[in-house]
Structure 1
Amino acid sequence: MYTIYLVEDEISLNQLIYSYMLREGWNVVSFTDGEEAKSAIGDKPHLWILDIMLPGMDGYQLIREIRKIDEAIPVIFISARDSDLDRINGLELGSDDYLAKPFQTRELIIRVRKLMERVYGKTIHTPLIVPPLGQLEYSPYTIDRQARIVREISGQEIELTSKEFDLLLYMVSYAGQVVQRERILDEVWGRDYFGSDRVVDDLIWRLRKKMPELRLETLYGLGYRLVRR
């Protein structure tokens, strides 16, 4: 399990990034003060995420202290200061990436994942459980995986977009299990998707509208679950 040290003094953003990274299965330690973070440099986490403007000690000073201990630990700067000079200063001091605020949290997650894979090697992900080709039954619907068609019990075909069908198959594959929104994004949209995670909510809503007998539950704060038939 990767250990990430996050240094961000804006409490709401700190908590948001922290929660997203926990969902990725990473061990996260957060700080809101540069001096406090300095005392933990010797822990040698797998990655540092540093804001530049920090109380006590700014991000530039902090990365200098980090590099005294270890020149190889990856560092990502996040900052509201989006100037070329700040980016260049960050790179010269040994940062591996720079992300200007405001940013989408998922973009940061993707950048972290890519950087970790580059430095430490590919991580192992559990493959999607896909049923064999053919027809699946989810009463009162019949799902033809090969033809990518869904029919009601009457034989009436339900028109789904390609992405709606992909999401339906995914949820059927994990029927009875709670699936997080972020995991759905990774598996259905792809791990390089940079858009809003609200596309999942929109697609879920469209599926419910087209397939009202689909028992697709929202578990607030957790994700979605398709009730087994």
Structure 2
Amino acid sequence: MEQAKILIVDDDAKLRDLLIRYLSQQGYTVDSLPDARDIDRKLARNRPDLVVMDVMMPGEDGLAVVRRLRAQGEPVPVIMLTARGEDIDRILGLEMGADDYLAKPFNPRELTARIQAVLRRHHATPVLSESLTDTAPAEFGPFMLRFEQRTLTRGDEPIPLTSAEFAVLAVLARHPRRPLTREQIMEMALGKGGGESLDRSVDVHVSRLRKALGADGPRFIQTVWGYGYVFLPDGVGAGE
């Protein structure tokens, strides 16, 4: 992968300087902002491959920024930083459209690992079983999911997804009518093991996917109670 550009948005000058030095040493091109006032201009003029953004900032906070960017159809990957590490805060960040979430204080090596993981998800198809490695698009209802192009469209209209949302949908679509546990989805799509916290992350991504698909979302991605989720390309359950 060619040298990636990282944008740091954080009002803590010492942390910005630390991350600029450290990530530059890891081979990234790094730019920074002290708040979100100029983030739209940065995205337009010197587009980063990934944004690392603090939640608590003066002016527009990180959650509001991510929510606004996603509402505008902006797909740039975002890792959120926060001094609050409770699950509810992390889940809220994911619900707004963040790709990952890291609580302060943190080891810069962990941030680097998360950056690498998010960039891999954003630029490559998910890890799938060998028998399901074809790249033919998946059609369901009015939707077309193109794995190689990493796009979801409804007719001619593109539907923006975060890297994590695309990865989850791709795994589900590659295994039609096969119920998958949350742990299986998390491992195949995001390369992470299970656990209650990560299980809830899957629920958040599925919820956002259903919203992106509109009224048909719950019909195509159905809940298997006490187990996980199943993708039904015709929107009809096995017992119907």
Higher Rg of the two aligned structures: 1
- TM-score norm. by structure 1 comes to 0.50
- TM-score norm. by structure 2 comes to 0.47
